[in-house]
Amino acid sequence: MKESKWFGRFRISIATNGILYSTPKVQKFIKKNKNLLSIGISIDGTKEKHDLQRVYPNGKGSYDDVVKNIRLWKEQFPFANTKVTIGHDDLPYLAESIIHLWDIGINEVPANVVFEDVWQDGDDKIFEEQLKKLADYIIDNKLWETHNTTLFSDHIGSKLSEEDLTRNYCGTGKTYSVDSKGDIYPCVRYLPFSLCNKDSIKFGDIYNGIDKDKIRPFYVLNTKNQSNNKCLECHYNSGCAFCQAANYDFSSNNTNFERAVYICDMHKARCKANNYYWAKLYNLYGILRNSSKRSSTLYKQLYFLLEDNSIEYCNYENKDNTINNKLSDDKIIENLKYAKENIIQPIFLHSLDSFKRIFNSQNQELKEELLSTYVINIVEFNNDIEEKNNIIFVINSKNIHSLNRNIENCILIIEEDEIQNLCEIVSKVLKYTKRINIKIKYAKEFDLKLYEEQLNLLVNKLCDYLNNNKIKEVNLITDKLFLKHMDNCFAGERNLTLCPDGELYVCPKFYYNNKKVDENIFPQLYLENAHICKKCDAYQCNRCVYENKMTTNEYNIPNSFQCRKSHIERKLSQKFLSKLKEKLMFNDIEIEDVNYQEPYELFENKI
């Protein structure tokens, strides 16, 4: 044995029900192999929960015989954990079971719901309430740094990227399982005793080797090619687990390329409970969800225009009105609940008055809703307002001179008559921030030649920072380097605005111009129906669906000015990229030359 190349280069991993753990034979084996051994004991929580599932042949529960061995097990394997599996029958015991496991010394508790078709109406509500109860226990006892369960994750509940969809959920078929007879399987779940409906799949055996043709399907499995359209379009599909063998076992056509979807409602419940947990952690203790950025963490957003005098953050004007209509507390509460139920990111558009009014409100129900919701706040810059991760400042001509402290990023409003000073204005703000999102307000058109000159100057300014080993971001120039798809505002497709009259509008510009939109036309707003934009790679473009409709009579056909403006930005992004490459940076990124000023010319040339 000592002559084998594998000597000392292996580990023995054992999953056991723990009943015989303290017996002399088991202890002798542990002593002999201690440095090569890891052992996991299955204990599902409280006696009530454990004994519902883990029973002897005579029906007697095994909890009492397992729990007496836990202390010895943890002494010998201090970092060991247990895996909790959750089904319909034991849902009401979930929170107390996780807490019980923590109490007996198991601080790390992986857990998941079963993938089988066992779920009944209302189970998702029980699951969500149990997770919220557990979240409150963690927060009330400040356990988030010392105790853990995988039921809470900071990467759950957003939309999977195209890159994520090309991965499989596990490594089935790329690692093998070998049974006692020497037969080789994709994983232990493909063994005959693990499958309920299908014949087992094996790759070969240790005597005759592997049939490589049997492996081929497993190497091309990914999330995308085994998921249905509902799964792929789901806007909170990240973290939605599946078992590859269960997919095969429950498939209607004896295939691995068909995903079992019995846990859809349970996954949504888990996402909502996670949002509740992370929101309270942030609002009470400033602990930020790791995947949170200063932009929305969720795929869909609901903007709350809290009053007519709220900050202008895009290309529109507030009403010229002496009456300042305000969104009522009842409407705010109602729609915060709606956003949480449907996993939508709330974004508050404030005036300085509404910012104080909302967060100093004495309305207890509103305070409770805000405590359990991660709200992004867009507000005019003011030195009295502390910068936080959920606050985005708007800089404009009225407040730019008061900016005298560093902020992480901001929205910078440029008026049409300020284009000639664009570089100068941006430079003032760049001194205090790492990133600027420029929004240009214009009535119809402005001088694009002047605009290009100013962007040229701005590229030079960014290069000056680069020469001093500082990287600054300005969306109109730098975003094109990072984006792989259109990053427009998605008004009417992924976000709507709740306005002071209590109605939903495509965006504030529609509200301020009294343009209500029938929901039946929303598909016209979807990017997939933007037939010019789909031909374009100026992904930083700030196209405006309101301007589209007013100028071309179609929500999804931009006018020529918007396209030419975005291609000037694209051209200057290309110039900045060339400067980066001179410094051996971003060498893996390319912006191709184009022979047109705007993508409509591609259609004209075909006529």
Contact yes or no for 573/540 (Cβ under 8 A): yes
Contact yes or no for 271/236 (Cβ under 8 A): yes
Cα–Cα distances (Å) from 23 to 26, 57, 81, in that order, read 6, 21, 20
Give the per-residue pLDDT at 35. 87
In a domain, 422, yes or no: yes
- 357 exposure class (CB count in 10 Å sphere: 0-12, 13-18, 19+): middle
Tokens of 337: 């609940």
Place of tokens 């094996």: 202
Q: Please count the other Cβ atoms lying within 10 Å of the Cβ belonging to residue 13.
A: 10
Give the per-residue pLDDT at 82. 93
In a domain, 553, yes or no: no
Bridge partners, residue 407, by sequence: 433
In a domain, 336, yes or no: yes
Contact yes or no for 279/372 (Cβ under 8 A): yes
- Enumerate residue ranges in the chain where pLDDT < 50: 1, 293-296
Q: Domain boundary at 520, 541, 565, which?
A: 520
Total domains in the fold of the chain: 2
Q: Domain boundary at 52, 80, 108, which?
A: 80
Give the per-residue pLDDT at 320. 64
Nearest by Cα to 89 from 129, 60, 53: 53
Nearest by Cα to 462 from 576, 540, 570, 541: 576
Q: Return phi, psi of residue 302, to 5°.
A: -125, 115
In a domain, 419, yes or no: yes
Length of the chain in terms of residues written: 607
Residue type, 17: N
Contact yes or no for 454/423 (Cβ under 8 A): yes
Integer Cα distance of 160 and 237 in angstroms:
6
Give the per-residue pLDDT at 321. 67
Integer Cα distance of 562 and 547 in angstroms:
9
In a domain, 100, yes or no: no
Give the per-residue pLDDT at 446. 93
The rounded Cα 213 to chain-centroid distance in angstroms is: 37
Integer Cα distance of 353 and 13 in angstroms:
61
Integer Cα distance of 270 and 588 in angstroms:
38
Nearest by Cα to 297 from 429, 201, 114, 157: 157
Q: Quote the crossing angle between the two packed helices 364-371 and 329-341, to the nearest 10°.
A: 30
Angle at 594 between CA 588 and CA 597, to 5 degrees: 135
In a domain, 103, yes or no: no
- 234 exposure class (CB count in 10 Å sphere: 0-12, 13-18, 19+): buried
Cα–Cα distances (Å) from 87 to 115, 542, 600, in that order, read 9, 47, 56
Give the per-residue pLDDT at 8. 67
Residue type, 346: P
Contact yes or no for 123/266 (Cβ under 8 A): yes
Integer Cα distance of 5 and 8 in angstroms:
8
Query: What pTM was estimated for this model as a whole?
Result: 0.93
In a domain, 154, yes or no: no
Straight-line distance from the first to the last Cα atom of the chain, in angstroms, rounded to the nearest whole number: 78
Give the per-residue pLDDT at 520. 87
For residue range 322-351, list pLDDT tens digits in order: 789 999 999 999 999 999 999 999 999 999
Tokens of 563: 């396209």
DSSP string, 177-236: EE-TT-EEESSGGGSGGG-SSS-----EETTTEE-HHHHHHHHS--TGGGS-HHHHH-TT
Contact yes or no for 91/123 (Cβ under 8 A): yes
The sign of the torsion formed by the CA atoms of 174, 175, 177, 182 equals positive
* HEC secondary structure over 438-451: EEEECCCCCCHHHH
> How, if at all, do strands 37-41 and 473-474 pair?
unpaired
Q: Domain boundary at 53, 80, 107, which?
A: 80
Place of tokens 């992986």: 110
The sign of the torsion formed by the CA atoms of 560, 448, 436, 473 equals positive
Integer Cα distance of 528 and 203 in angstroms:
42
In a domain, 483, yes or no: yes
Q: Please count the other Cβ atoms lying within 10 Å of the Cβ belonging to residue 156.
A: 23
Q: Tell me which residue range forms the domain holding 72.
A: 1-80
Contact residues for 406 (Cβ-Cβ < 8 A; gap 6+): 432, 433
